[in-house]
Amino acid sequence: SIDMSSLTKQTGLTSLDPGFVNTASTRSAITYIDGENGILRYRGYPIEELAKQSTYLEVAWLLIYGELPSESELLEFDEKIRRHTLLHEDLKRFFTALPHNAHPMSVLSSAVSALSTYYEDSLSPHDPEQVEISTIRLLAKLPVIAAYAHKKALGQAFLYPDNSLSFVDNFLRLNFGNMAEPYEVNPVLSKALDRLLILHEDHEQNASTSTVRLVGSTEANIFSSISAGINALYGPLHGGANEAVLKMLAQIRDSGEGVGKFVERVKKKEEGVRLMGFGHRVYKSYDPRAKLVKESADEVLDALGVSDELLDLARELEQIALADDYFIERKLYPNVDFYTGVIYKAMGFPPRMFTVLFAIGRLPGWIAHWREMNSDPATKIGRPQQLYVGPPERHLNR
């Protein structure tokens, strides 16, 4: 039974919308998605053009400031980010306090939360200069934290950033370089990683971005808000799907059951069995990002001269699913996560780092939304209604 008075409490009408399937939480000028037609645009620019002709940092600027940067603006932005890559030495010790098998997503969110303790005098969401410096610090330091989470899991020494390198090359070196020899960046990997990061930069009001906005709506600082977003992204129904896809493919290969049998189990909805990397709340056609990722998968594997049976399995799974009524009726297509894991694996990242790479990609979007929300006079603290279905008033009668 529902207490009907709770339905008309404040606004006159309350709608119940589990999962916010039909509820907009905000107006936003950042990203446009047409899920029926597979269209994605950042600030009006089609994702295909940005992925092929832009860079992660240029797109970050576009998302955060609203327009493409001039050449000098981009140069200055890049230089500022290079200048802020160092982590406080005490924060580096934080990594060694965690268990050696700590999941890097937990390490990432904890370290980002901890960052706020080093910058307590510049956390105001209302001071534009403080917001600006926090933006730069986050963009510069998140990749370094991510690489240290990786190195920690390997038991290897942390490298200092080499700020003569570009954003992506620096990140690759921090992950795969060592103290003993110089690290040679493979330009094909660098380009492919940059493109994957662009594809992840924003996706309007997804679960992690909505989390960043909800936490930020309490006037919490940007580090706390983004740490919360990283935790939301960790879940396997969201960013965690890229790790889950690779696990699923490896299980299919190791069990020897074959792709067809696996798909049958998915269709029977066996407990815990979903086709990971398929389906999307918004896309009811092919995810435009997945098309671009699929192209990159071929390019990267060819350039490295490797083949991967998991990529073959993924292709076979896609073919079977796209021809099957279960998936056709429900409009289930590969999403951005379906092929990313295969590329990250070819680059040398362990599966536990996959969602961390997603987080680095999504960071500019989170920042852009947090800033958009804080500069919008219509912003109110996020506070959904509920329909109470518990017991009516009762008494202890003692």
User: Which of 134, 335, 355, 374 is the binder for ligand ACO (CB under 6 A)?
Assistant: 335
Residue 279 in the binding site for ligand ACO (CB under 6 A): yes
Residue 317 in the binding site for ligand ACO (CB under 6 A): no
User: Which of 57, 107, 336, 353 is the binder for ligand ACO (CB under 6 A)?
Assistant: 336
Query: Which of 167/358 has CB closer to ligand ACO?
Result: 358
- Site map 59..88 versus ligand ACO, x via CB under 6 A: ------------------------------
Q: Supply the DSSP string of 202-217, one letter for each residue.
A: --TT-HHHHHHHHHHT
Residue 111 in the binding site for ligand ACO (CB under 6 A): no
Asked if 280 is an active-site residue, the reply is yes
Paired tokens of 356:
């961390």
Residue 266 in the binding site for ligand ACO (CB under 6 A): yes
Query: Which of 165/263 has CB closer to ligand ACO?
Result: 263
Site for ligand ACO in 4-23 (CB under 6 A): 19
The β-bridge partners of 32 are 41
User: Residue 105's closest CA among 141, 137, 146?
Assistant: 146
Asked if 100 is an active-site residue, the reply is no
Binding residue count for ligand ACO, defined by CB under 6 A: 19
Do the beta carbons of residue 241 and residue 276 sit within 8 Å? yes
- Quote the least distance from Cβ 336 to ligand ACO, whole Å: 5
User: Which of 57, 108, 332, 363 is the binder for ligand ACO (CB under 6 A)?
Assistant: 332
Residue 237 in the binding site for ligand ACO (CB under 6 A): yes
The β-bridge partners of 30 are none
Question: CA dist 357 to 64, 82, 346, Å?
Answer: 19, 19, 14
Residue 274 in the binding site for ligand ACO (CB under 6 A): yes
Site for ligand ACO in 280-309 (CB under 6 A): 280-281
Question: CA dist 3 to 246, 389, 390, 391, Å?
Answer: 46, 7, 9, 10
Question: CA dist 387 to 5, 14, 223, 394, Å?
Answer: 10, 9, 32, 19
32 in helix, strand or coil? strand
User: Residue 161's closest CA among 150, 149, 151, 147?
Assistant: 147
Residues in contact with ligand ACO by CB under 6 A are: 19, 237-239, 241, 266, 274-281, 330, 332, 335-337
